[in-house]
Structure 1
Amino acid sequence: MYLKELHVTNFRNVGNGQPLCVPFQQGLNLIVGENDAGKTGLIDAIRYCLGTRGQYYERITISDFFCGDGQQSKEFSIRCVFDGLTPDEVGNFAEWLTNIPGEDGQPGRSELQVSLTAKLQADESVYPERSTGSGKDVDGKLREYLQATYLRPLRDASAELRPGRRSRLAQILQTLPEMRPEKDATVADTLAKIMVDSQKNISDNKTIKNIEKRLREEYLADAALTGTSLLPKLGMGVKFSFEQVIERLQLELHPPNGVNLAVNRGLGLDNVLFMCAELLLLQSEATAQLPLLLVEEPEAHLHPQMQSSVIAMLDNQATNRRKAQILLTTHSPLLAGSADPQNVIMIGAGTTFPLSSSHTKLEPGDYKFLRRFLDATKANLFFAKGVVMVEGDAEVLLLPALAEKIGRPFTKHGVSIVNVGTVGFYRYARIFQRQKPPVLPVPVACITDRDVPPTAAASLLREGRKTEDQFEQTEIQTHIAKKTAKDGEPVKTFVSPCWTLEFDLAEGGLLDEMNRAITRARHTGTKTEETLDQEAKTFFDSLTGTVREKAVKVCEPLLKNGSNLSKPTVAHELASILRNLPDTPEQMRARLPAYLVEAIDYVTSPLTASAPAPAQQATQGSSDAPAQLG
C-alpha cells in the first residue's frame, strides 16, 4: 500500500475553496521549491491526517486555516488516498476500504481513503474529525498502522541516537520484532537470558560479596537488636525490564581508521545514521506499520558528495526489500539533480507540478537525457522564479551584467541561468511545459543565435557557408520558425536579429565596448587596461564603412573561421566594462538588441499559474538541436 494522492482544501496557503490534488509515486518523491512555497505544508498535511510515530505532536492551530482577502476559513479538509493494497491489507482493513468499480470490463479494486476535517470554533479552538471513505472513524489497528515516520527539519540526530527514556532510538529498538524478549529466559543468546545472567553475575561477584560481608559483620551485627537479622544485599535493585535495557543502548559510528578513542563523527553522519535506523524499522517485514517516511531537508549538514550518495541510497531502499515510500522536501539542487526527474514534484503559488510523464510534455528520451545531464548547476532551475536557457558560457557570464544594467538584476528576481550547451534546449525547457493547465508560473526564456552571417562577413567564414544575401527570405523565416517551433506555456524563444550574441551586441549599440573587450581578451602580456583601451580606441577611430561593416571588423578576431580567441574571456571583459559605464537603465536599454531586453524583461516579470501561454509559432521540423543555415 502506498500514498497515491493527497487532497487539500483551505489548508494554509491552499484556499479559496479550490482543492489541491498532489499525486505521488511509489518509492522516492522529491518536493522542491523556493522558501514559503508550501513544501512543509504538504508534509504537515500528511502528518495531521495520518499521525506520526515518535515524539512529534500534531497540534492544529488557527494559523493552519487558509486566510485570504482578510477572511479566515472556518474549516479545512485533508484526504489521503492509498492504492496498491496487498491481500493482507485488504483483509485486515476491509471495513474501512472504498470499492472502486472497474472500467471497460476490467475488475474493480479497493482503495483506502482517510480524511481529516478540522473546524474552527468561535473561541479559536479546533475540533478535528478523522474518517474513511466507508464512513467509519479511523481508530484501532488502522490508525496505528497508518502512522507515518517523520524526520523534522534541523533535527538533532545525535540526541535521537543517545540513550534515554524518550529517545527515538529506544522507540525504534522496542518496535523491532527481533528485539522483543522471549518468554523463556533460559534460552541462550537472547536478550532475556543476557539480562538474567548479568544480574546473577553481579550478585555473585567476589567484590560485591566481600562488601556485603563487611556491612553485615562489622556494622549491622552491632546495630541489630537481639532476635533481629539485618542482612545487606548489594545488586542491581529491582530486576531490569526489557524496556530499561533498551533505553540504555546507544547507536553511534565507529571512530575513523587509526583512531582508538571515541570521537564525535559530526552532525551530518549522525543524520545519515538516524535515517538508516528509521529505514531499518520501516523495512522490517514483521513490522505492522505503513512504510511511509517523511523527511524534511535530508541534506542537513551533508557536503555535496555525501548528498549524492544519500539520495542514491534512499532511492535504492525505496525500491528494494519491503518497498518504502519516501517523501522528501529539499532546497538542494544537488539532491534534485541526482534524483530521477520523474520523482520530482515542483511546488509554488499553492500549486504542485509533478514532473512524471503523465503531467509534462517531456518525452521518454528526455528523461534518460536529464538523468545523465541534469547536474547541480542546472538543477537550480527547480527553485527559480525565472529561467534563462543559453547555449554557452559567454551568455552565462554576460547576461547577468546586462540585466543589472537595465535595472532587472537576476539575483533580485530569483532568475537562474542554465547553460544547455549546443544541444538539448527543449529537453530542459519541456520540464516546465504541462500537458494541461494550470501553467507553471516560471517564465522560461531560451536565448539563441540566429546564425545567419551578414554579407560583409563572407571572408571570415569557412568555405561553402552562405551569407544572408544568398538565402531566400522564406528560408530565413523557416529557419527562425524552427527555432521557436516548440514554444508554448511559459517557454518562449528569443532569437538574435542577425548572427551571434557578440556580433549583434556590437552592431546593436556596444561597438566601442565590444572592441575594448576583444582587445583586452587577445592580450597575453603585461600591458595595463589603460594602455589596451588606448590601443582599442586607436583601432576604433580608424574604422570606416557602415555600422555592420565596422562590427564585422571589430568581431573578426572572435568570429573568424579557425579563431582560438575565447568567447567566455571576451564576455568576462565586456561584463566588466559594462558594469563601469555611467549609462542609466533607460540608456542601456536603447543600446541593446531588442531580443535581449525582451528576454530579460520576460523572465523578471511574474507569471501566475493561470497565465496564458506565449503564442505558438509556425513549425518547421522538430529537432531539438539548434537550427543552422549554410
Structure 2
Amino acid sequence: MHISKLSLVNYRNFANARLLFREGTNTIIGENGSGKSNLFRAIRLLLDDNMLRSAYRLDEGDFHRGLADWRGHWIIISLEFEKIVSDEAIQALFQHGTAIVGEQYTEKATYNLIFRPKLHVRQLLSELAEGDQLGLAEILDGITIDSYEVVFTGKSTADFNDLTTYKNIVGDFEAVKFSKETEFPELGIRVPAVLSVAREVSFTFVQALRDVVAEFHNNRANPLLTLLKAKSGRIEADAFAPITEQVKALNDAIGGLNDVLAVRSDISQTIKAAAGEAYSPSSLSIRSDLPDEADKLFQSLKLFVGESGEAYEGNINELSLGGANLIYLTLKLLEFKYQQEKMPVANFLLIEEPEAHIHTHIQKTLFDRLNYEDTQIIYSTHSVHISEVSKIQNMNILGREGGCCEAYQPATGLEPREIASVQRYLDAVRSNLLFAKSVILVEGDAEEILIPSLVKAVMGVSLDELGISLINIRSTGFQNVGRLFHDDRIRKRCAIVTDLDTAIIDTTPHDDDSKALRKFKLHIEGAQAKGIERQLALNAFCDGNRWLTVSYAHHTFEVEFMRAGNADVVIGVLGDVYVSAHTIEEARAELQSTDVSVYGRRVLTMAANEGKGWFALLLAKAITPATAIPRYILDALVFANPALPIDVWFRVFDHRLRTNSNAGADDAVIEESRGHLDRFRRGEIALEQLNDELFKTLPADAIHDVVAAFLS
C-alpha cells in the first residue's frame, strides 16, 4: 500500500496543491520557503500517531495566508492510497472506513482531514440569499476558531483540487452563493477514532537536522532513547534482575561512604542548632538514586562515536556537524526498522532535507541505498546532488507563485522515451534546473560565460538576484529539457536563447574564390540552413505554450555581441589572441568596420582560434559597465522575469549612478539623477518616468536599452 495522491486546500502556504506519488522512493524538491515542511506536517497530521492531538487543534494560523478572510473557509488535507493488500483484517479497516465507494474489493482508499465550520454556522450560510453581502459579513463577524470542528472522513469521491467542487460544497464567498445542503455525500463518511489509519501503519518522520546535539539532550526526542525504550519492553524480568540487584548494591555503597555519612550528620546537627529539636526533620539521609528500572536506567546511556579513521571515541557533541547528522539519521532509520518488524498495514518513511552538513557523495549514496522492501519513502530536499539521482517520474517540485506555493509533476503527460531523454540529461548535466524560479537555456559555453558577466556589469545585480538560472544545454536540442515547462508539468518561465546562424556574407560561389573562402561559404551556408530548420522546429514546439519562448541571435553570439556596439571590448583582447603587431593592427581595423561581413568574420576567426569558451573568458574580463547587452538576450531576461521589484530596480539604477560618478560625470548631474531615483523608491514616480528623467541627465547610459526592453 502506498500514498498515490496528496491534496491540500487552504493549508498554510498552499491555496490549492496536488502532489502525486509512486511506490518506492519519491522526492519533493523545492527552494527555501516553498512549503516542504508544511507539506510534511500535513501528511503527519493524518498518518503520524504522535500528531493526532495536533490534528484536532488547528487554528487560524493554519489557514492559507493568501485568504483575505479565513472565516467560513475550510482546510482540506486528503490522502489517496493505492494497492491495498488483500489481507482480510486490512480490507476490513478500509472497507469500514476509507475505501473508494462502490468497490467490493478495495484497491484504493481515501483518508481526509477536514477543518470546517460547525453545523450551526454552515446552516446559517446555507440560508443566505444569493448576493447578500451584508448578511454574509454579519455571519462571518461572529465566527471564531471555536466555531470550527475537525472531522476525519473516508470513502470520498470529491476532487478537492477542483475549484468548482470547492465552491459547490464550501460556498462562493465573492458571489455569496451557498448550497442549501450542509452535508455532502462526496466528502465521504466519518472515520471513527478506533479506525484511525495512523494507528495501523508504521510511520517514521526524520525531521530536518537543525541542532542534533539538542535532540540527543531532549529525552522526548532523543532517537537513542527511543530505540532503547523499544527494546526495554522486551527484556524479561529474570534477565534484568541481576542488574537491578547490582544497582541497589551500588546505591547502598555510595550512601555508606564515610564522607557521605559525615555530611549527613553535619546537616542534621546544623538544622537542629538553627531551628531546635521540635522543628527539625525527624530523619534525614543522603542516598544514591540510580534508577533500577530498565527504561529509566537507559536514560543514563549515551552514544560515544569515533570519527572515520580515528581511534578516539567522543560524545556526540564532539563530532563534526556532518558526522553527528549521519548518526542521528542512522538512529531514526533503525527506529523505522523496529516499527517495520511489527508487520503494520503499510510502511511510510518521511525524511526532511537529509543533506544538511553531509558530504555530497554520502548524500547520493544515502539516497541510492535507502530502498526498504514494502516501504514508501518520501524525501524533501533542496540539494542538487540528491535531485540528480532522483527519477523525474517520482518527483514533485514545489515553487512559489505570488503568495502561494504550487506543486508540479515534471513527468506528467510525457511518453516513456521523452522521460528517458530528460532523465539522461539530468543525470549527465549537473544543474540546478529543477530548483530555478525561472530559466534561460543556452546552447554553448560562450553564452554561459558571458551572459552572467554582462548582466552583472551592466545592471549591477546577478542572474541569481533576478531569480533566473542560466542552463547550458551544450547543444541545440532544447526540446529535451524545454518540454518540462508546461501547464501540465513545471509552471515556470523558460526562455530559450539560440542562434539563427544567418550568413554574414553572400554565399554564392565564384570562380575566383580561394579554397579557404569556398570552405567558409559552404560552412556558413550549412549553418544558416540548420538555423532556419531549428527556428521552424522551435517555433512549432513553443507555439501555444505560455511558459516557453525563444530569443534568436540573427547571426551567432559573437557577431551579435559586436553588432550591439561592443567592438571596443573585442579590440581590448587582441593582444591576448595575437602576437604579431601587424596582425593586431589588421584585426583592429576589421573590428572597427561597420560591415558585418568584415567584423563578423574577424570575430569568428578569433573565437575559432582561441576556442569559443576560452575566447568568452577573455571577453568576460574585458566587459565594463559601458558594455551593451544584445537585445535578444534582454528579451530573454524580460520573459524569464518580466516584473522586477522596485528594490531591484533601485539597486540597478544606483549601480549606474555610481558607475557614471566613477567615470567622471558631473556631480550636479549625479545629484539630480539621485533625486529622481529617491522619488522612484518612495513610489512617487514610475519606472518609465524615472528612465525619462535619467535620459535627460545621462542620455548615453547603457541602462536605457535595458529599461526599454522591460517596458516594451
Same fold by TM-score greater than 0.5: yes
Distance 1:292 1:42 in 2: 15
Aligned to 1:570: 615
Aligned to 1:336: 387
Aligned to 2:83: 84
Note if 1:129 corresponds to 2:151. yes
2:61 alignment partner, SS class: helix
Deviation of residue 522 (structure 1)?
1.3
Deviation of residue 570 (structure 1)?
2.6
Aligned to 2:455: 403
Distance 1:196 1:362 in 2: 65
Deviation of residue 352 (structure 1)?
0.9
Aligned to 1:180: 233
**From 480, 485, 509, the counterpart of 1:432:** 485
Deviation of residue 411 (structure 1)?
2.8
Distance 2:618 2:287 in 1: 80
1:363 alignment partner, SS class: helix
Distance 1:298 1:524 in 2: 54
Contact preservation (8 Å) 1:429, 1:444: yes
Distance 2:624 2:489 in 1: 35
Aligned to 2:640: 603
Specify the code of the residue in structure 2 equivalent to 1:61: D
Note if 1:114 corresponds to 2:106. no
**From 351, 355, 365, the counterpart of 2:406:** 351
Specify the code of the residue in structure 1 equivalent to 2:483: R
Considering fraction of residues, name the structure with more helix: 2
Aligned to 1:13: 13
Moved more, 26-35 or 358-367: 358-367
Contact preservation (8 Å) 2:493, 2:639: yes
Write out aligned runs for 1:99-110 (5 A).
99=100, 108-110=105-107
Distance 1:56 1:265 in 2: 35
Write out aligned runs for 1:174-213 (5 A).
174-175=229-230, 179-183=232-236, 185-186=237-238, 192=240, 195-196=243-244, 198-199=246-247, 202=250
Distance 1:405 1:137 in 2: 64
**From 13, 20, 32, the counterpart of 1:35:** 32
Moved more, 360-369 or 28-37: 360-369
Task: Flag structure 2 segments of 5+ consecutive residues without an equivalent.
Answer: 118-141, 156-188, 270-283, 508-512, 645-712
Distance 2:92 2:227 in 1: 24
Deviation of residue 78 (structure 1)?
0.9
Aligned to 1:294: 350
Q: Identify if the C-alpha distance between structure 1 residues 26 and 179 changes in structure 2 by more than 3 Å, giving closer, same or farther.
A: farther
Write out aligned runs for 1:552-563 (5 A).
552-559=600-607, 563=609
1:42 alignment partner, SS class: helix
Note if 1:167 corresponds to 2:222. yes
1:401 alignment partner, SS class: helix
Aligned to 2:681: none
Specify the code of the residue in structure 1 equivalent to 2:606: L
Write out aligned runs for 1:262-301 (5 A).
262=314, 264-284=318-338, 285-287=340-342, 290-301=346-357
Distance 1:469 1:29 in 2: 47
Contact preservation (8 Å) 1:446, 1:491: yes
Distance 2:607 2:515 in 1: 7
2:598 alignment partner, SS class: helix
Contact preservation (8 Å) 2:6, 2:78: yes
Specify the code of the residue in structure 2 equivalent to 1:44: R
Distance 2:105 2:68 in 1: 45
Deviation of residue 364 (structure 1)?
3.9
Deviation of residue 6 (structure 1)?
0.9
1:413 alignment partner, SS class: coil
Specify the code of the residue in structure 2 equivalent to 1:124: I
Distance 2:411 2:349 in 1: 20
Percent of aligned positions that are identical: 20
Deviation of residue 241 (structure 1)?
1.9
Q: Deviations over 1:42-75 (max 9, x none)?
A: 2222123334548995652312212446332532
Distance 1:358 1:186 in 2: 62
1:410 alignment partner, SS class: coil
Note if 1:251 corresponds to 2:303. yes
Deviation of residue 197 (structure 1)?
5.8
2:305 alignment partner, SS class: coil
Count of aligned pairs between the two proteins: 551
Distance 1:409 1:12 in 2: 31
Deviation of residue 559 (structure 1)?
4.7
Aligned to 2:496: 446
Contact preservation (8 Å) 2:412, 2:489: no
Contact preservation (8 Å) 2:411, 2:419: no
Aligned to 2:598: 550
2:378 alignment partner, SS class: strand
Deviation of residue 8 (structure 1)?
1.4
Note if 1:496 corresponds to 2:548. no
Contact preservation (8 Å) 1:199, 1:235: no
Aligned to 1:509: 565
Contact preservation (8 Å) 1:117, 1:130: yes
Q: Identify if the C-alpha distance between structure 1 residues 135 and 118 changes in structure 2 by more than 3 Å, giving closer, same or farther.
A: closer
Distance 1:385 1:294 in 2: 25
Specify the code of the residue in structure 2 equivalent to 1:240: D
Contact preservation (8 Å) 2:502, 2:527: no
Q: Identify if the C-alpha distance between structure 1 residues 57 and 469 changes in structure 2 by more than 3 Å, giving closer, same or farther.
A: closer
Distance 1:566 1:198 in 2: 79
1:172 alignment partner, SS class: helix
Deviation of residue 85 (structure 1)?
2.2
Deviation of residue 509 (structure 1)?
3.0
Specify the code of the residue in structure 1 equivalent to 2:602: V
Q: Identify if the C-alpha distance between structure 1 residues 168 and 409 changes in structure 2 by more than 3 Å, giving closer, same or farther.
A: closer
Specify the code of the residue in structure 2 equivalent to 1:601: V
Q: Identify if the C-alpha distance between structure 1 residues 315 and 539 changes in structure 2 by more than 3 Å, giving closer, same or farther.
A: closer
Distance 1:384 1:472 in 2: 32
Specify the code of the residue in structure 2 equivalent to 1:509: G
Specify the code of the residue in structure 1 equivalent to 2:363: V
Distance 2:542 2:82 in 1: 37
Q: Deviations over 1:443-500 (max 9, x none)?
A: 21222233454336987969756448967998864353245453353233333212x2
Note if 1:372 corresponds to 2:427. yes
Distance 1:69 1:54 in 2: 25
**From 15, 19, 22, the counterpart of 1:22:** 19
Aligned to 1:628: none
Distance 2:634 2:469 in 1: 16
Write out aligned runs for 1:591-630 (5 A).
592=630, 594-605=631-642
Deviation of residue 194 (structure 1)?
5.7
Deviation of residue 374 (structure 1)?
3.8
Aligned to 1:394: 446
Q: Identify if the C-alpha distance between structure 1 residues 556 and 307 changes in structure 2 by more than 3 Å, giving closer, same or farther.
A: closer
Distance 1:445 1:139 in 2: 54
Specify the code of the residue in structure 2 equivalent to 1:340: K
Contact preservation (8 Å) 1:361, 1:430: no
Note if 1:420 corresponds to 2:473. yes
